[in-house]
Amino acid sequence: MSGYDTLAEVYEWLISDAKLSPAEFAASFADVLSLLPPNAHVLDCSCGTGQLAVGLAGLGMQVVATDASEAMVRRTAELSEEFGASVRTVRADWQELPDHFDDDTFDMVFCVGNSLHHAVGASGRFAALESMSRLLRRGGRLVLASRTWELVRARGSRLDISDRLVRRNGRDAVVVYRWEIAPHWEEEHHIEIAVAQVDAAGSVLVRSELLSCWPYRYDELEVELHRVGLRTEMSTFNPEAENYTVVASRG
Ligand SMILES: C[S@@+](CC[C@H](N)C(=O)[O-])C[C@H]1O[C@@H](n2cnc3c(N)ncnc32)[C@H](O)[C@@H]1O
């Protein structure tokens, strides 16, 4: 159980406009996607509500979408049906992936949208990356998008309240993030996320979840990728930017 089963219900309030559209989400990876063969086999291994997986299927790829959260997987299956997309969905956390898929299966594995920090500590992260790596065929690529934890930790514990209402499905909500930053990098950190929907009569409906996470420095991630047999081909890491993407290929 990963957390996220409650947030799955209100996840659209948590993602940017650009990620809401499957085609747009997939297009944001156009550079790496252009390296794939036709009919490539791709895995989104923390698929959330499925926009990326559905977008990739729309480009003609053979897509599998997995997530630790049952509710997220259900939402991905529903979105696929809504778009008439062919996406195979499986509930699996990263360490369970080798139970479901053979080694050397995928041309590309996506782990995007600030997911990897939910792996439990350095050993959990290593096991997760190792699973992702072994499912890649030789020359296949892992695409990993991450928060810049160096920046997040430097800001310390805090409360972030959206400065505008977020409107989705005709409903407005205030989105709140409460960051609980532990004294040391290797300790369990927490992010509590609340989506407070406000209706026209002034009633407020809140959905919230307390998530655990284990941050990592970019330098550590590079070493860990190397240890699981992946070579960094491209990285947008910039210590002053909020997020970065790493593309690493299996030797
Ligand atoms: C911040 S969301 C990102 C979802 C999606 N990739 C996106 O970009 O919107 C993190 C996702 O990671 C999933 N997750 C957390 N722990 C996981 C684990 N151990 N194995 C697989 N997925 C996990 C959560 O259920 C959630 O869907």
Structural domain boundaries in the chain: 7-148+217-250, 150-213
Alpha-carbon span 206 to 195, nearest angstrom = 6
Q: Does 7-148+217-250 match 150-213 in CATH topology? A: no
Burial of 199 (0-12, 13-18, 19+ CB in 10 A): exposed
Output the 3-class SS for the chain.
CCCCCCHHHHHHHCCCHHHHCHHHHHHCCHHHHCCCCCCCEEEECCCCCCHHHHHHHHCCCEEEEEECCHHHHHHHHHHHHHHCCCEEEEECCHHHHHHHCCCCCEEEEEECCCCHHHCCHHHHHHHHHHHHHHHEEEEEEEEEEEECHHHHHHHCCEEEECCCCEEECCEEEEEEEEEECCCCCCCCEEEEEEEEEECCCCCEEEEEEEEEECCCCHHHHHHHHHHCCEEEEEECCCCCCCEEEEEEEEC
66 C-alpha to ligand 1 centroid (Å): 9
* Residue 91: CA count within 13 A, CB half-sphere: 12
Of the chain, the percentage scoring pLDDT greater than 70 comes to: 99
Q: Which amino acid is at 148?
A: T
pTM for this entry = 0.97
Q: What is residue 3's predicted lDDT score, i.e. its pLDDT?
A: 81
Contact, 234 vs 142, CB < 8 A? no
138-168: pLDDT as tens digits: 999 999 999 999 999 999 999 999 999 999 9
Residue 139 Cα to ligand 1 middle (Å): 25
Overall average pLDDT of the 197-216 stretch:
96
Q: How many A from CA of 202 to the centre of ligand 1?
A: 32
The CATH architecture that domain 150-213 belongs to is Single Sheet (2.20)
What is the structure's pLDDT at 1? 45
Determine the Cα–Cα distance for residues 57 and 39; give it in Å rounded to an integer. 9
Mutate to test the pocket of ligand 1, among 2, 12, 76, 149 (most ligand atoms within 8 A of CB): 2
- pLDDT classification of 54: cutoffs 50, 70, 90: very high
- Rounded to 10°, the helix 121-135/218-227 angle is 50
Q: pLDDT at position 2, please? A: 56
Domain topology for 7-148+217-250:
Rossmann fold (3.40.50)
Name all residues whose Cβ lies below 6 A of ligand 1. Answer: 2, 4, 15, 19, 46, 48, 67-69, 72, 93-94, 112-115, 118-119
Q: pLDDT by residue (tens digit) across 161-173?
A: 999 999 999 999 9
Long-range contacts of residues 173-182, Cβ cutoff 8 Å, at least 24 apart:
173/10, 173/13, 173/197, 173/198, 174/198, 175/13, 175/14, 176/208, 179/152, 179/155, 181/152, 181/153, 181/155, 181/156, 181/157
Flag whether pLDDT at 91 surpasses 70. Answer: yes
Distance 37 CA to ligand 1 centre (A): 26
Q: What letter represents residue 66's amino acid?
A: T
Q: Are 196 and 204 in contact (CB under 8 A)?
A: yes
